[in-house]
């Protein structure tokens, strides 16, 4: 694995190897991640052309825990604003001896363009491109599910909300089918579920209670307002009434079901505060696991594994 651009097409052995490598970075309580010298002398450039809190910060922490030098380009203050192209920016940063580019971009495919452009010793990790793919989120979601549920083969997992605009949903579906989940469901209004879900081996539901019935894992998604035009955009109150996860609605899932969300959450829109702060939510552990998973991805693509 030289670049990580998508989970789609990755063999199960590679996905499992990434998760196992991440587990090796964590201590017994799965919270602390010790500093290791695996990327000493390497330079990681974080290029976030779209906003981020969790992904950008955990990549930064992960690179530092691997002893790499990390550079966070402030895109708003960079020469991108003066019209410099994406690939010219990449050439100039490569001239500063970049080893790994971590790229988030609103255009689907931007990390692929960079991966085709850079030389063989430079690695690209997709940190979210348009509505296409968010592979490290998908991997940390798989890590989280494996942590709490151990085995995928008996699991029914529901992905709920704005699936149409969600790169996380696509990465989770690829991760879950690759790892052999028993059943993957998507649940959402007709306007926000894409047409190709059946081809992806996923069951489609348009009713929340039916869609999460007897599920082991419920993954909630935010309404991606920034990717919607007016006609598609439901009102927050309407949406919450039909698809917002409340403690009462969560009773339809299994009693030991876990509730996940990639963040940022919108309390009272797709999820009730009582669920976010309740005993079944594992939303903050997801964030924590992201550090070890991103360490695993960067050390594997750079060929400097433990
Ligand atoms: N889950 C996620 O990608 O969050 P950020 O947009 O804050 O990075």
pLDDT of amino acid 231:
61
Domain match, 125 and 254 both: no
> Tokens 């927050």 label which residue?
236
Domain match, 16 and 90 both: yes
Domain match, 26 and 104 both: yes
In a domain? residue 224:
yes
Question: Is residue 34 marked as binding?
Answer: no
Tell me the CA–centroid distance for residue 41 and ligand 1, in Å: 28
Q: Give the position, in ligand 1's atom list, of the atom nearest the Cα of 134.
A: 3
Domain match, 142 and 267 both: yes
Domain match, 263 and 211 both: yes
Our count of domains for the chain comes to 2
Domain match, 114 and 199 both: no
Q: Give the position, in ligand 1's atom list, of the atom nearest the Cα of 51.
A: 6
Question: Is residue 146 marked as binding?
Answer: no
In a domain? residue 4:
no
In a domain? residue 6:
no
The preferred substitution site among 137, 141, 291 for testing ligand 1, maximizing ligand atoms within 8 Å of CB, is 137
ipTM above 0.95, yes or no: yes
Domain match, 153 and 262 both: yes
pLDDT of amino acid 31:
66
Which residues does ligand 1 sit against, CB inside 6 Å?
Answer: 52-56, 128, 137, 262-264
Q: What is the CATH number of the domain that holds 181?
A: 3.40.50.1370
Domain match, 172 and 250 both: yes
Nearest CA to ligand 1 atom 1: 262
**pTM for the complete prediction?**
0.96
Question: Is residue 128 marked as binding?
Answer: no
In a domain? residue 1:
no
User: In this structure, are residues 151 and 176 in contact, taking their beta carbons and an 8 Å threshold?
Assistant: no
Domain match, 262 and 174 both: yes
User: In this structure, are residues 141 and 175 in contact, taking their beta carbons and an 8 Å threshold?
Assistant: yes
Nearest CA to ligand 1 atom 4: 54
Tell me the CA–centroid distance for residue 52 and ligand 1, in Å: 5
The preferred substitution site among 264, 286, 290 for testing ligand 1, maximizing ligand atoms within 8 Å of CB, is 264
Domain match, 35 and 120 both: yes
The preferred substitution site among 51, 53, 134 for testing ligand 1, maximizing ligand atoms within 8 Å of CB, is 53
pLDDT of amino acid 28:
59
In a domain? residue 25:
yes
Nearest CA to ligand 1 atom 3: 55
Buried (b) or exposed (e) across 184-199, using 16+ Cβ within 10 A?
bbbbbbeebbbeebee
- Residue 225, domain extent: 135-284
Domain match, 18 and 80 both: yes
First to last CA, the chain: 15
Per-residue pLDDT of the chain (306 residues; tens, 9 = 90+): 999 999 999 999 999 999 999 999 987 565 678 899 999 999 999 999 999 999 999 999 999 999 999 999 999 889 998 999 999 999 999 999 999 999 999 999 999 999 999 999 999 999 999 999 999 999 999 999 999 999 999 999 999 999 999 999 999 999 999 999 999 999 999 999 998 898 899 999 999 999 999 999 999 999 987 777 666 677 889 999 999 999 999 999 999 999 999 999 999 999 999 999 999 999 999 999 999 999 999 999 999 887
Question: Is residue 134 marked as binding?
Answer: yes
Domain match, 186 and 122 both: no
């Amino acid at each position: 694995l030289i670049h990580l651009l998508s989970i789609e097409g990755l063999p199960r052995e590679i996905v499992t190897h990434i998760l196992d490598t991440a587990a090796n970075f964590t201590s017994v309580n799965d919270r602390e991640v010790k500093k290791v010298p695996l990327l000493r002398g390497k330079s990681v450039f974080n290029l976030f052309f779209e906003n981020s809190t969790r992904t950008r910060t955990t990549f930064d922490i992960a690179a530092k825990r691997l002893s790499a030098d990390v550079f966070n380009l402030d895109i708003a203050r960079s020469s991108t604003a003066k019209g410099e192209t994406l690939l010219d920016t990449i050439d100039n940063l490569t001239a500063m001896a970049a080893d790994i580019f971590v790229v988030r971009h609103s255009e689907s495919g931007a990390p692929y363009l960079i991966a085709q452009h850079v030389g063989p010793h430079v690695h690209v990790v997709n940190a979210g491109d348009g509505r296409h793919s968010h592979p490290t989120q998908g991997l940390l979601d798989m890590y989280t599910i494996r942590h709490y549920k151990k085995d995928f083969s008996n699991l029914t997992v529901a992905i709920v909300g704005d699936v149409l605009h969600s790169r996380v949903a696509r990465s989770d579906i690829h991760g879950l089918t690759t790892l052999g989940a028993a059943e993957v469901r998507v649940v959402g209004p007709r306007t926000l579920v894409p047409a190709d879900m059946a081809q992806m081996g996923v069951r489609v539901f348009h009713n929340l209670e039916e869609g999460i019935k007897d599920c082991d894992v419920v993954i909630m998604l935010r309404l991606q307002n920034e990717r919607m035009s007016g006609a598609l955009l439901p009102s927050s109150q309407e949406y919450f009434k039909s698809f917002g996860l409340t403690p009462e609605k969560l009773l339809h899932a299994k009693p030991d079901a876990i509730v996940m969300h990639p963040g940022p959450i919108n309390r009272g829109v797709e999820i009730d505060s009582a669920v976010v702060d309740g005993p079944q939510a594992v939303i903050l552990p997801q964030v924590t696991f992201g550090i070890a998973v991103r360490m695993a991805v960067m050390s594997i693509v750079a060929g400097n594994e433990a």
